[in-house]
A and B are shown apart, each in its own frame.
Chain A
Amino acid sequence: EVQLVESGGGLVQPGGSLRLSCAASGFTFSSYAMTWVRQAPGKGLEWVSVISDSGDNTNYADSVKGRFTISRDNSKNSLYLQMNSLRAEDTAVYYCARGKYYFHWWGQGTLVTVSS
């Protein structure tokens, strides 16, 4: 059974940093691109970033470009999102999802709150 489990969320001050992790199991992790999607409280979904199966190619939403870095460790079946220079508008539940285009498998999400 495919499982994606995010961790690393929490409360951080504006300008601070946080690293999210997503532990994958139940499938061959190194064969799939992986994506981060976020959802601000009471709002719609927003695509954040994608990384290729090998990790060689990445892409970011303009709203996070230059501040967030997506990475993966295929030996550990893990996906990461390093978030720097956090802003209040980054407050959201962050989901990892399997795939590049549309997403059949999602994690349960981890809440990031940016506030002083």
Chain B
Amino acid sequence: EIVLTQSPGTLSLSPGERATLSCRASQSVSSSNLAWYQQKPGQAPRLLIYGASSRATGIPDRFSGSGSGTDFTLTISRLEPEDFALYHCQQYGSSPWTFGQGTKVEIK
């Protein structure tokens, strides 16, 4: 199975700063079949990005995804207070689908 490694584990930033989250796959993710989710404590995950770079419905354009092959990035251009949360990547190119261990974006 494809192992997804997210880095860093925790990102400490201030509101207004740019956040860059990495998701690296142990083997190539076919057709850029990679998604990103945001999760807040006690809540279900929320889909942000699918197909590596397509924003889900209702997601602000400060969220963007990029990458292909084994290296993918989620960028939040300017952090808003509501963006401090846990972020997961998920690949759906090779069964079984797998998730990364998550990156926590916390207020500095």
* Interface, chain A (partner B; CB < 8 A): 43-47, 59, 61-62, 95, 101-104, 106-109
Contacts and interface: CB of A to CB of B under 8 A. Distances in A.
B55 to A, nearest CB: 12
A101 B98 CA distance: 11
Contacts of B98: 47
Nearest to A101: B92
Given A95-B44, A101-B92, A46 B35 contact: no
B47 A45 contact: no
Contacts of B97: 47, 101
11 contacts: A43-B101, A45-B37, A45-B88, A47-B96, A62-B96, A101-B97, A102-B47, A102-B90, A103-B45, A106-B46, A108-B43
Interface in B28-54: 33, 35, 37, 43-47, 50
Nearest to A47: B97
A62 B1 CA distance: 10
Contacts of A47: 90, 96-99
Interface of B: 33, 35, 37, 43-47, 50, 56-57, 88, 90, 92, 95-102
Contact of B47 (A44, A59, A104, A109): A104
B95 A44 contact: no
Given A45-B88, A95-B44, A107-B44, A102 B99 contact: no
Nearest to B35: A102
Contacts of A45: 37, 45, 88, 90, 99
B86 to A, nearest CB: 9
Nearest to B101: A44
B99 A44 contact: yes
Contacts of B99: 44-47
A43 B88 CA distance: 11
Given A44-B99, A95-B44, A109-B44, 5 more contacts: A44-B88, A46-B99, A47-B97, A59-B95, A61-B96
Nearest to B45: A106
B2 to A, nearest CB: 11
Nearest to B36: A102
